[in-house]
Amino acid sequence: MASGKFISFEGIDGAGKSTHVSSVAELLRAQGKTVITTREPGGTALGEKLRALLLEESMHLETEALLMFASRREHIAQVIAPALARGDWVISDRFTDASFAYQGGGRKLSLDKLSALEQWVHPDLQPDLTLLFDVPLEVARQRLDAHRTLDKFEKEKEDFFAATRAVYLQRAAQFPDRIRVIDSTQPIALVNRQVEQLIMEL
């Protein structure tokens, strides 16, 4: 059985990452892969309950980070690790890079604390490939304002998203073999082509 692969999709709210999850899953299924699509926070029954709290309720920034990693621990145990052990491919809409970007960048939580949580919750697991969909802040805001009710993160001010985006790009520079930056301001056909090329290389 072919070994499973783990792909995460990242980016600030409005970057357009979620749009490409289903197309990548279809591409891989056409190649004969068994594909699991999932999301964070969430991905399990407990995780979805935590998601509702995390996206709507005000809380201390450390509580927020701890709940994010609690949801992630359940997600890994119940979904990601079993799928990879079966040889399936897992596509997750966000993973731990999001915690560094949002709780570390946006919320200003110590990156050392986040690293400690990462080492506790998944010391031996990282995505094989992370696609970071990047857009300028004004483009992201226009996309968010255009189409839906906003959650508490999406309602944050520009400086929050500037700091979040900055940490995402810092991590891309830190882990260039894993995190690949995609200019999501391009026409969707060009973005799709770039995504497909990176997936096929994997």
Looking at the DSSP bridge assignments, the partners of residue 189 are: none
pLDDT attached to residue 7: 98
Looking at the DSSP bridge assignments, the partners of residue 181 are: 132
Measured over all CA atoms, what is the biggest interatomic distance in the chain, rounded to whole angstroms?
47
Phi, psi of 9 (to 5 degrees): -110, 130
CA distance 94 to 169: 15
Angle between helices 61-75 and 45-56 (to 10 degrees): 160
pLDDT attached to residue 16: 75
Please compute the mean of the pLDDT values over residues 129-135 and round it to a whole number: 94
Collect all residues with Cβ–Cβ distance below 8 Å to 188 and sequence separation of at least 6.
Answer: 16, 19
Alpha helix locations (H) across 6-44? 21-30
If pLDDT is split at 50, 70 and 90, which confidence band does 184 have?
confident
Please compute the mean of the pLDDT values over residues 13-25 and round it to a whole number: 83
- Position of tokens 């407990």? 46
If pLDDT is split at 50, 70 and 90, which confidence band does 153 have?
confident
Alpha helix locations (H) across the chain? 21-30, 45-56, 61-75, 81-86, 96-99, 111-121, 137-147, 158-174, 188-201
List pLDDT tens digits, range 45-89: 999 999 999 999 999 999 999 999 999 999 999 999 999 999 999
If pLDDT is split at 50, 70 and 90, which confidence band does 97 have?
very high
The answer to pTM > 0.85 is yes
Please compute the mean of the pLDDT values over residues 151-157 and round it to a whole number: 81
